[in-house]
Amino acid sequence: MSTDLLRYYAQRAPEYEQIYARPERQADLDRVRRWLHDELSHQRVLEVACGTGYWTAWLAPVVEGIVATDACAEVLDLARRKSYPPGCVRFAIADAYELGAVTGEFSAAFAGFFWSHVPRARLPAFLRSVHARLGPGARVVLLDNRYVEGSSTPIARCDDEGNTYQQRRLADGTVQEILKNFPGPSELRAALGTEARGLRILEFEHYWGASYQTVRAS
């Protein structure tokens, strides 16, 4: 993962979950939680880029077990402090592009709010990393942001590969440029290609979700 992104999330870790308290997003979050329950209940889940464990804590009571991974030690420290059902959650430092060292057998993978930080050119590598840890027929669930004028941080620029960037201001007043892509359904279908069987894409007001089954291990 990029060192800039790791540095940003290490600095933002204490304030990261404030985004989920915004009033205009509460109805959407309720819908997202119901959708995730339907998609992932009773699964053995590999969570990619779990961050501070916001979704880990919500998923833990409904899944069979979860291994929550992140490349940033600072956010994992916060995630470990949350309350979980005994024996249900294990944490591991792992790069989302190199998940081969994560131990365990998984029937599903979940990546929340990571796709948007993947450069378009690296999407195939990210998907290969996830699929390689799963067997054929495993479920993959993706969740991320849609761009909503007036609620989302404005797009600051776009690079030659079509990646978009935001200027993020932290509580200490510092500003960092962060890659943040907002794919539409057609782009998601093209990126997932033939490796996604039964692909379903949902568009909420502030979020998008996608779920599918792997065709084979990559």
Q: What is the mean pLDDT of residues 186-198?
A: 94
Question: What's the CA dihedral at 128, 6, 112, 191 to 10 degrees?
Answer: -40
The pLDDT confidence band at residue 169, using thresholds 50, 70 and 90, is confident
What's the pLDDT tens digit per position in 26-83?
Answer: 999 999 999 999 999 999 999 999 999 999 999 999 999 999 999 988 889 999 999 9
Closest C-alpha to 68, from 110, 105, 35: 110
- pLDDT value for 61: 97
CA 116 to CA 5: how far, in whole Å?
A: 12
Whole-structure pTM value: 0.92
Contact yes or no for 140/212 (Cβ under 8 A): yes
The pLDDT confidence band at residue 135, using thresholds 50, 70 and 90, is confident
- pLDDT value for 217: 47
User: What does the mean pLDDT of the chain come to?
Assistant: 92
CA 180 to CA 128: how far, in whole Å?
A: 21
Domains of the chain (ranges, CATH numbers): 3-147+182-214 (3.40.50.150)
CA 19 to CA 11: how far, in whole Å?
A: 15
Closest C-alpha to 95, from 62, 133, 63: 133
- pLDDT value for 17: 83
Q: At what angle do helices 185-192 and 123-132 cross, to 10 degrees?
A: 60
CA 34 to CA 212: how far, in whole Å?
A: 17
The residue written with tokens 């509460």 in the block is: 26
Contact yes or no for 122/97 (Cβ under 8 A): yes
- pLDDT value for 167: 93
Q: What is the mean pLDDT of residues 161-178?
A: 89
- pLDDT value for 16: 73
The amino acid present at 11, given as its one-letter code, is: Q
Integer angstrom CA distances of residue 139 from 38, 51, 156, 207: 12, 21, 35, 20
- pLDDT value for 218: 45
Q: What is the mean pLDDT of residues 3-17?
A: 69
Residue 182 above 50 pLDDT? yes
Q: What is the mean pLDDT of residues 202-208?
A: 97
Please compute Rg for the chain using Cα positions. 16
